[in-house]
Amino acid sequence: MRPILLSGHERALTQVKFSKEGDLIFSVSKDHIVCAWYSANGERFGAYKGHQGALWTVDVDPTTTLLATGGADNTMRLWEVRTGKLLKTWDYATSVKRVEFSEDGRQLLAVTEKRTGQLSTVYIYDISPDPSEPAPSEHALRIVVDEQPRVTVAGFSYLNHFIIMGHEDGSVSQWDAKSGEHIKDNYSHEDGMQVSDLQWSADRTYFLTASKDKTAKLHDTATLEVLKTYTADTPLNSAAICPDPQQYVILGGGQAAMDVTTTSQRQGKFEARFYHKVFEEEIGRVRGHFGPLNSVAVDPTGKCYCSGGEDGYVRVHHFDPPYFDFQFEVEREARAESRI
């Protein structure tokens, strides 16, 4: 099916996110604007204006009532999705690189950047799902990361047991979400190759990290063990897990513009790559962007995916029937067996 091109941003996209029902797409870009789109037809639902700097991150709570955004203006902001009302602004000393709601939507985390004199810090707030209740100014928990390298991404595990962080040196770490204690590390990606994205499976028992070392790795949340590795031929910026029953992961990346000598599409490898989640084999690629893919996201109901590129476009692709039908022989066998 023909992809839908969402051309509402003027600068590079930094993150795209689906609502839990998959009907809305939220996108943030370096042009200071947060956009919400209908995934079905690409119409713009609205924009959230107020940020004074480039935006790095966005997340929406599971009931699609609250939206959190963070950016280079050193603030995290909380919005009401339906009305676009700014509910709360938190100010920090450095820019906000990542925000994420917990599985139940009652907690919100923010990762602030490490810069001269400031350590990477993860702030956690208790949030009420009711937008009329004021959000707290004080954080419930603060994790100052001083021993590990700079934090690039972070998120809540299943049942808010842990906070998982991805670091600049390619490692992932696990922290207790109640006490803020450091539990363990796994140096899973190549040393010095930052973890650029971390996305969860539907039940948050495993997660996928993308790294500049050209691989994406599937980790078990509880043990941090690497379950699967997907190797691409270009540095990765983002990786998403397709919801069951489809067993795919989608990787996005591309040569950063500064590393490309001739910016032809051939050189840049600006494609979304589909891999089989279990067999680690590449299945297909989707072209279209003419800059690196900065963020990919999959509709939680599995009908479509979207990608946000350095080129300023969000492309929404609704899956065609072959996507749902394609199966490896052994998968077909296994399914036949389970039916019996």
Nearer to other proteins, 91 or 244 (CB): 244
Interaction of residue 263 with other proteins, rule CB under 8 A:
no
Instruction: Out of 115, 220, 245, 287, point to the residue binding other proteins (CB under 8 A).
Output: 220
Interaction of residue 181 with other proteins, rule CB under 8 A:
no
Instruction: Out of 278, 283, 290, 319, point to the residue binding other proteins (CB under 8 A).
Output: 278
Instruction: Out of 5, 7, 10, 21, point to the residue binding other proteins (CB under 8 A).
Output: 21
Q: Which two tokens stand for residue 151?
A: 């934090």
- Minimum distance between the CB of residue 6 and other proteins, rounded to whole angstroms? 17
- Minimum distance between the CB of residue 20 and other proteins, rounded to whole angstroms? 7
Phi-psi region of 117 (alpha: psi -120 to 50; beta: other; left: phi over 0): left
For residue 245, say if its preceding peptide bond is cis, omega within 30 degrees of 0.
yes
Interaction of residue 226 with other proteins, rule CB under 8 A:
no
Q: Quick check: 175 and 218 in contact, CB under 8 A?
A: no
Rg over CA atoms, the chain? 19
Interaction of residue 205 with other proteins, rule CB under 8 A:
yes
Instruction: Out of 266, 321, 322, 339, point to the residue binding other proteins (CB under 8 A).
Output: 266
Nearer to other proteins, 21 or 91 (CB): 21
Pairing between strand 44-48 and 55-60? Answer: unpaired
Please give the Cα distance from 248 to 267 (Å, whole number): 25
Q: Quick check: 312 and 11 in contact, CB under 8 A?
A: yes
Please give the Cα distance from 242 to 89 (Å, whole number): 33
Please give the Cα distance from 291 to 274 (Å, whole number): 18
Kindly give the residue spans of alpha helices, DSSP state H, lying in the chain: 265-268, 321-325, 329-339
Interaction of residue 229 with other proteins, rule CB under 8 A:
no
Nearer to other proteins, 132 or 262 (CB): 262
Give whole-number Cα distances, 248 to 44, 254, 272, 336, in Å: 28, 20, 12, 20
- Minimum distance between the CB of residue 280 and other proteins, rounded to whole angstroms? 8
Instruction: Out of 138, 191, 329, 339, point to the residue binding other proteins (CB under 8 A).
Output: 329
Interaction of residue 279 with other proteins, rule CB under 8 A:
yes
Interaction of residue 206 with other proteins, rule CB under 8 A:
yes
Nearer to other proteins, 22 or 70 (CB): 22
Nearer to other proteins, 179 or 205 (CB): 205
- Minimum distance between the CB of residue 189 and other proteins, rounded to whole angstroms? 16
Which amino acid is it at 110? A
The strand pairing partners of 284, in sequence order, are 274
Nearer to other proteins, 10 or 333 (CB): 333
- What is the sign of the dihedral through the CA atoms of 179, 182, 184 and 189? positive
Site of interaction with other proteins (CB under 8 A): 1-2, 20-21, 158-159, 202-203, 205-206, 220, 222, 227, 233, 261-262, 266-267, 277-279, 300-301, 303, 318, 328-331, 333-334
